[in-house]
Chains A and B, each alone.
Chain A
Amino acid sequence: MSLQQKASRALLSRGAKKLDSGRIGFLYVLPWLLGFLFFKLYPFASSLYYSFTDMHLFNGISRWGFFNFENIFTSGQIIKSFTVTFKYVLVTVPLKLVTALFIAYILNFRIKGVTYFRTGYYVPSILGGSVAIAVLWKALFRNEGLVNAMLAVLGIKGPSWLSDPQYALFIISLLRIWQFGSSMVIFLAALKGVPEDLYEASTIDGATSRRQFFSITLPLISPVIFYNLVTQLVQAFQEFNGPYIITKGGPLNSTRLVSMIIYDQGIKNYKMGLSSALAWVLFIILMLLTLVAFKSQKHWVYYSDEMQGRGKK
């Protein structure tokens, strides 16, 4: 052993005496812990406190109470915003999941150039949330945009997609559904994990492709469907970029999602108290829906270990 090696070993053993494994572990997690305390827990707790105040960025706090929550449940504009958000979630989450699963199912076949297709379908979900795509979307659907120009070629006068309350939410929803790529990739991985022998056995038993899909594929990928459902649900409730850039919440508040009201009240109107209360109401709704989703698991989600367990019994 060289002199240098001996020295470093001595240093290490001395250090080890001072810091037992527990303390070393604590040191390792300290950066994360500090980040969590200052950037997550503190803002989280502060917003809960502010939600019971009339905290204004420039005027501070002058009263405490439940008035923000009363305001939320009595203000027509805020209630409309929650209604719009629920509509948006109800439309986009199922359609996005169905589209993602459908495309993943097709791309799971051995088709020539399938890797290019996979990349092509995945690209929108990388670009979709960006400002540039939202601007492009706006250009596509404006009165004299590409969509209406194409309709005009067919002799159809296109509607005012962005300024007619009948269509605006649909256009915003379409942008989200179009970003199905990330869910698709997860579905594709799950589909590849379904054992081939199950299909072979069922084919011998005379099962049709349709029966195979509903009785083998869907149950076996149900944990992944569940995962995608919960993540998409959370993301859809938090959507902001698309409607903010494309319609700014209009026309007539038909695309004003709750996240936008949180932004408007906190950042534009400096009413951090009301903004925090809105954020907490949204958080509670999300928690409840996630809880319902988890509780519903036992009725439709099948985990392979559970199935094996059932088999053994």
Chain B
Amino acid sequence: MKKLLALSLALVMVFGLSTTALAQSTISFSWWGGDARHEATIKAVDAFEAKNPDIAVSDEYSAWSGWEEKMGQRFASNSAPDLNQINWNWITAFSSDGSKFVDLNTLSDIIDLSQFEKSGLDACTVAGKLQGLPVSMTGRIFYWNKAAFEKAGIGVPASHAELMAAGQVFKDKLGEDYYPLVLGTYDRMILMVFYLESVYGKDWVVENKLNYTKDEIAAGLNFIKEMEDGHVIPTLMKLTGDGADSLDKNNNWMDGHYGGIFEWDSAAGKFQKALNEDQEFVVGEHFSDWGEYQGGYAKVSMALAISETAQDKEAAAKLLNFLLNEEEGVALMESQRGIPLSKKANEYLAANKLLDPIVAEANAKVLSWVRFNLDPLFESNELKADETGVYAQVMANLSYGEVDVDGAADMLIEGVNSVLGN
């Protein structure tokens, strides 16, 4: 009797497991971001599972810190999740030969590619394969804490001259620890490139060659140094000493000691949220007094890509399309990854007032201003990594007074050329 019972239980279990296995395809989906993005994405994934009961999705998500290193190892060892939120430069960094990501053109019967502009798709096409679907375009812009400027008795700066003047006003009226702007090492590098493009009207890198002379780069570094000397931005010693992992976690940003940032338009939400209640977050303008050109670039902020190792590529494609093109998914994802490039998604969010007004304003300003192109290697980890990257080393040495602008220019040229393979 006992044997019969055990046998029956075993049979029922095997049957149950096998039917589950047969009925469900499990795919994995990875992304990085803050809490708001996690919450929105999890809701969207739940809605997808409800709509597609034959597909189960396992989530892998975290903050950005350390994420690129982790995912780099996963892609190198062919153990990456099936669907991935990827940084734009990962396509060239991990899959320059097209070996890591699926060509999404082959899944165009599931993914509605017609919702995307050709330029966006071209930006993600490497080795003749559409390796990712761009989620949004992003660029850098100033954000100001209006309350901090009001406290100093001035308005938010609309030009470089006003910003430089604000440095002294902050120091005199508010104190030594107050600055109208704060820039980390990578922010300094991007701002310098924006400035150089405004002055000289050319891309930073062209056909894998650094497009600026030593004197021009020295002028750019001097532009940064002058801001530091003029009490416009804190020194890197001061900023590092704050002990915060990122600017949005820095008390001096939260309470108005630092009056502005130069950030991605898509990052507005987390910086706005970080401010204390008595502070006011506003989108700034690009400065037209740097030079005669509209310096700056926009780039694909991130893309969704399907790993070549994915067992069920169709299921991953369904999820991708649901998140970027289908109303239900789009409504839940909101603008947590910037202003969507998908026409359908954009129209739906705008019509239903689901776009974050600050992000939308910043994105519109960025896209209408910038005129230059970004080389994917600009974001190579060897160049941009915190502390260890070439940009961080150059900016730190300059800020700490270890080298002058000429020495820093030499360091930067050598580092960039090394990554470009020259």
Contact = CB atoms under 8 A, between A and B. Distances in A.
**Of A138, A142, A252, which is in contact with the most chain B CB atoms at under 10 Å from its CB?**
A252
A160 B237 contact: yes
Interface in B239-259: 239-244, 251
B253 to A, nearest CB: 13
A164 B236 CA distance: 10
A59 B400 CA distance: 36
B383 to A, nearest CB: 10
Contacts of A270: 72, 76
A163 B381 contact: no
A141 interface: yes
B238 A143 contact: yes
B396 A252 contact: yes
Interface string A52-67: 0000011000000000
Contacts, number: 78
Contacts of A242: none
Interface residues of A, number: 29
B18 interface: no
Contact of A268 (B69, B236, B242, B402): B69
A139 interface: yes
Contacts of A141: 243
Contact of A144 (B240, B251, B381, B397): B251
Interface string A240-256: 00000001111111001
A162 interface: yes
Interface in A136-176: 138-139, 141-145, 160-165
A275 B406 CA distance: 31
A132 B73 CA distance: 25
Interface size class for chain B? 20 to 34
A24 B96 CA distance: 52
A243 to B, nearest CB: 10
Interface in B44-89: 69, 72-73, 75-76
A264 interface: yes
Nearest to B70: A267
A160 B240 CA distance: 9
Contacts of A268: 69, 72, 381-382, 385, 388
A76 to B, nearest CB: 11
B289 interface: no
Nearest to A158: B241
Secondary structure call for the A interface: loop
Interface in B378-398: 381-382, 385-388, 393, 396-397
Contacts of A251: 236-237, 240, 396, 400
A134 to B, nearest CB: 12
Interface string B169-201: 000000000000000000000000000000000
B240 A162 contact: yes
Interface string A242-285: 00000111111100100000001001111000000000000000
A162 B236 CA distance: 11
Nearest to A135: B245
Contact of B243 (A142, A250, A252, A253): A142
A169 to B, nearest CB: 14
B180 to A, nearest CB: 19
B290 interface: no
B93 interface: yes
A269 B238 contact: no
B94 interface: yes
Interface string A84-103: 00000000000000000000
Nearest to B237: A163
Contacts of A253: 393
Given A58-B93, A267-B69, A252 B241 contact: no
Nearest to B96: A58
Contacts of B397: 252
Contacts of A247: 387
B298 to A, nearest CB: 26
Given A248-B386, A269-B382, A142 B72 contact: no
Contacts of B242: 142-144
Interface in B194-249: 236-244
A58 B94 contact: yes
Interface string B90-117: 0001111000000000000000000000
5 contacts: A58-B96, A251-B237, A251-B396, A252-B400, A264-B388
Interface of A: 57-58, 77, 138-139, 141-145, 160-165, 247-253, 256, 264, 267-270
Given A143-B241, A253-B393, 4 more contacts: A58-B93, A144-B243, A161-B241, A162-B241
